[in-house]
Structure 1
Amino acid sequence: MTAWTIIEATQEEVRSGELGRRLRHFNYGFVGEYPESQPVWLSARDAQGRMVGGLRGYVFLYWLHIDVLWVDEAARTAGLGSELLGQAETKAKSLGAHSAKLDTFEWQARDFYAKRGYQEFGRIDNHTDGFYLAFMMKKL
């Protein structure tokens, strides 16, 4: 067995993308060549230029992965969250995505996503202080 040392990756190593490239080339042997991850980043600002919402995600292997969707409390129930989600899904489809996935804590927006066609496919009970983390997906 070969000896190795595990150390914290340097900023240069992370920025180089070498780790991702190596995994991608391994994956190609199973699913064929596919595009690199494409960002889906949206921000919403009010008339004064203040951020009132946004979405951060990416398309990878033909799925939209939603990392963050946030709407300021003052802008909730006005349709901004639905608009952000809809625009992200539209952009993801234009980038080749056929489905979307996300996770959300039970106190966050599970019902919001369910009303927009997302289905829970798994959860981790008691993830944090007795609250569950739901995993949700939707065909685009």
Structure 2
Amino acid sequence: MAAFNRGHVAPGATGPLAVLLKDESDSTIGGLWGSTLFGWLRIELLFVPEGQRGASLGSAIMQQAEALAIARGCIGASLDTYSFQAPGFYEKLGYSLVGVVANCPPGNSRYFMQKTFALAHDQ
């Protein structure tokens, strides 16, 4: 399957991508985990400890991950989040809604979002 998929897309940098949030003892306390594949960053997890939220750390982590993805040749990023998590946060960072699974989990929705990067040659 992997060979079939590679035959249909241009080669690009693939692999895991992480931006880690460390405490004063160099322990990982949060950050972003994802991967790049087929020219896109797939954000799988973003976590900022509750006591550190509201200090723009999440935005800084996202910006750093996007910069790393652009350096790998990515043209955009995608993620999913739930209605009770952070869709407004991602919208403020330029992500747009591309799909919704209603009542998942029951009483809430699952949102699929994407952002296309403004690359230097596009400006």
Shift of 1:50: 4.3
Q: Secondary structure at the match of 2:2?
A: helix
Inter-partner Cα distance in structure 2 for 1:36 and 1:24: 15
Report the equivalent of 1:93.
70
Conservation of the 8 A alpha-carbon contact between 2:12 and 2:38: yes
The answer to whether residue 63 in structure 2 is matched with residue 57 in structure 1 is no
Structure 1: gaps (5+ residues): 1-22
Q: CA deviation at 1:48?
A: 3.8
Percent identity over the alignment is: 37
Count of residue pairs brought into register by the alignment: 117
1:1-80 equivalence runs, <5 A:
23-32=1-10, 34-35=11-12, 37-80=14-57
SS at match of 1:56: strand
Q: How far has the Cα of 1:78 moved from its partner?
A: 0.3
Which structure carries more helix by proportion?
1
Q: 46-55 vs 85-94, which deviates more?
A: 46-55
* 1:108 matched to 2:85: yes
- Alignment match, 2:103: 126
In the superposition, the TM-score normalised over structure 1's length comes to 0.78
TM-score by length of 2: 0.88
C-alpha RMSD of the superposition: 1.5
Larger RCO (CA under 8 A, 6+ residues apart):
2
Evaluate the alpha carbon distance shift between residue 29 and residue 69 of structure 1 in structure 2; reply closer, same or farther with a 3 A threshold: same
Distance 2:95 2:13 in 1: 25
Give, in whole Å, the separation in 2 of the partners of 1:28 and 1:105: 31
